[in-house]
Amino acid sequence: MVDVIWSDSAKEELRDIKQYISKTSKEYAELFVDRIFEVIENLRDFPKIGRKVPEFNIISIRELICQNYRIIYKTYGESLEIVSIIHGNRLLKI
């Protein structure tokens, strides 16, 4: 089992996503955030379950897809860092 660390930018991005979805449905926003946490919780036991991020093609930088969002994370031995959560239509800055 690995430790999961959140970058400040990933925390902010998730907050912004929740706020945006809340404009339409506060209930759906809560469900979405819960789903993101469920997906990330799976990473504790299976840190390499995600695919390599195509823009980087580096084995330690991986992603999982949750609905229309990309959860970008980097593995570091016994820990991993959630680096970004972005909509799949947005460009990932390289």
Distance of alpha carbon 22 from alpha carbon 56, whole angstroms: 32
87: which strand partners?
Answer: 69
Rounded to the nearest 10 degrees, how much is the dihedral formed by the CA atoms of 86, 87, 88, 92? Answer: -40
pTM > 0.85: yes
Answer whether 13's CB lies under 8 Å from 83's CB. Answer: no
* pLDDT tens-digit map of 41-72: 999 999 999 999 998 889 999 999 999 999 99
- Domain range annotation of the chain: 3-87
Residue 92 confidence (pLDDT): 76
Fold of 3-87: YaeB-like fold (3.30.2310)
